[in-house]
Chains A and B, each alone.
Chain A
């Protein structure tokens, strides 16, 4: 029997899962992948930040956001603004009519840097803004929605609308944002060229470490009383309210946390890929991110990482050979997951693979394990 009185933030099996994922990300991939592919996997892993946030918001807390691209994008744009300013030194931009401002501003007849770009000259401010800007934005949305008890499908639709609005805004304000092309031609971080293979490999590892920091944070939340409250809210929101909790606060918190995770992923995306554009902000990428979490298993934070890697790897592989079929394939995959494997890869693992593995393990066969209740 499970002893409900001991409470650990990570049991042996979960620790093993973390260790295996760490081995894959820090040892296996760098050993077998050439630098170009490694960078590609680094890019995939930036989406995993979003998927982990979605596991907490959607899988655990029941809050489906179809606008996580907004936070991914805001984090990415904050980073891109800093890098762009560094790349737009007066020497580099001497041929422009106004040297010292980003090239797209010059093309759009801007003659001075907008005031809200100024703080992004500071790297410390940028690091702060990468997380703070999306979190404040999520907080405002959260307060406006959850205090009014907007939830479920209405919330999903509104987040989707916000993703669409932000995309339109970015594209429309070309002079300030780089428009549909985004912020491109990013070169150095404090003089360190981020375009070289060595830099990309280093950034891959930085990304991996940050991803694990996020995974540990998610695990902590998941196993805290707040994690159990989220599950309780998903199933019986009224009961939680009448147990004396202000439900809206908890929703706002987890939504902001998901936004923070997504933002870190976005910033790492910009660093590794070298640009940021509205095509990572809008409706399609936001929905893709939900699919990553769904394929991985929306209740499993490690599953979200595997789901992200698998779907993106498939996307790259298939869209290289059959570009026009990929979107259909993605849709079919989503339907298949929803219909046949509602708990995604993690569910298949827990229900099909793990029990068989345990049978193979001598001495373990006699003890079929119950899924422990939280």
Chain B
């Protein structure tokens, strides 16, 4: 039986399975994330990486298994409750609110006024403004606060979405390909940004860029056909013959 309150781990995933019409996208998957760890999930296309994040954050309902986060049973919770428990999720394609300003994008993510009437009577007070400026500075968008998010570059949208998560101050941050589609310069800046923000929280990252993975990973989990193929340090995983065969080899 899974001990939901085990203090050694922030996130415990055990026996997680999801089946879409008989196809098991994630099959009896288990892994454990420690406090302040940066876990990178790699694997070939269709290995179930994004599905794992979807299952943890409540977007997809699991068929079997358990996901424990700080004493919560995430599989029994709604998406917004999972967010309030402290799990933040960044999507693969940047999803920001294009019709709203950068400021409003960050403001909507500020963890206050999340009920209907809370939102109706929400005031932009000093604390909100300061926090938004602080985050904007961190994500290199301080000069773009009044701009519509639709006019940002692809990389800037990725940063904005990361900023929207940071303002929630989640204990567990899940990032799906945060550097995909970025220029070399943007990528460098993002690595620097991520290194700064993962310092005091646990992070799960899905990434293909091996240089980037080496830069940030505490540990690496290799997924293949919905199962863990290998797990450990980057070095260990890179030299695992099973991994070389299915993934790094080609």
Which of A3, A226, A234, A372 sits near B120, CB closer than 8 Å? A226
* Contact of A235 with B by CB under 8 A: yes
Chain A residue, CB-CB nearest to B147: A373
* Contact of A359 with B by CB under 8 A: no
Which of A3, A7, A231, A249 sits near B116, CB closer than 8 Å? A249
Q: Which A residues touch B116, using CB under 8 A?
A: 226, 249-250, 253
A220 to chain B, nearest CB (A): 8
Would B146 and A228 count as touching, CB distance under 8 A? Answer: no
Contacting chain A: which of B98-106, B211-219, B231-239?
A: B98-106
* Contact of A5 with B by CB under 8 A: yes
Contact-residue size bin, chain A (C-beta under 8 Å from the other chain) = 20 to 34
Would A224 and B83 count as touching, CB distance under 8 A? Answer: no
A219 to chain B, nearest CB (A): 13
Size of interface on B: residues with Cβ below 8 Å to A = 41
Q: Which B residues touch A250, using CB under 8 A?
A: 116, 119
**What sequence of 0s and 1s flags, for each residue 47-65 of chain B, a beta carbon within 8 Å of any chain A beta carbon?**
0000000000101000000
* Contact of B115 with A by CB under 8 A: yes
Chain B residue, CB-CB nearest to A299: B99
* Contact of B9 with A by CB under 8 A: no
Contacting chain B: which of A12-20, A172-180, A239-247?
A: A239-247
- In chain B, positions 74-106 with a C-beta closer than 8 Å to chain A are 78-80, 83-84, 88-89, 91, 95-101, 103-104
Name the residue in B80, B148, B164, B168 with the highest tally of chain A Cβ atoms < 10 Å from its Cβ: B80
* Contact of B44 with A by CB under 8 A: no
B97 to chain A, nearest CB (A): 4
* Contact of B29 with A by CB under 8 A: no
* Contact of B32 with A by CB under 8 A: no
Chain B residue, CB-CB nearest to A225: B122
Q: Which A residues touch B148, using CB under 8 A?
A: 373
Name the residue in B84, B99, B122, B124 with the highest tally of chain A Cβ atoms < 10 Å from its Cβ: B99
Which of A226, A228, A236, A372 sits near B107, CB closer than 8 Å? A228
Would B83 and A249 count as touching, CB distance under 8 A? Answer: no
- In chain A, positions 1-28 with a C-beta closer than 8 Å to chain B are 1-5, 7
Q: Which A residues touch B95, using CB under 8 A?
A: 236, 238-239
Q: Which A residues touch B57, using CB under 8 A?
A: 242
- In chain A, positions 319-333 with a C-beta closer than 8 Å to chain B are none
Q: Which A residues touch B113, using CB under 8 A?
A: 225
* Contact of B229 with A by CB under 8 A: no
The complex places the Cα of A249 from the Cα of B161 at a distance, in Å, of 24
Q: Which A residues touch B89, using CB under 8 A?
A: 242
Would A224 and B119 count as touching, CB distance under 8 A? Answer: yes
Chain B residue, CB-CB nearest to A241: B79
Would B103 and A228 count as touching, CB distance under 8 A? Answer: no
Chain A interface (Cβ < 8 Å from any Cβ of B)? 1-5, 7, 221, 224-226, 228-229, 231-232, 234-236, 238-247, 249-250, 253, 372-374
Apart from A246-B114, A373-B148, list 12 A-B contacts with CB within 8 A: A5-B129, A224-B119, A224-B122, A232-B100, A236-B95, A236-B97, A238-B95, A239-B97, A241-B79, A241-B80, A245-B80, A250-B119
Per CB-CB distance, the 5 closest pairs between chain A and chain B, nearest first, are A244-B83, A373-B101, A4-B103, A225-B122, A226-B119
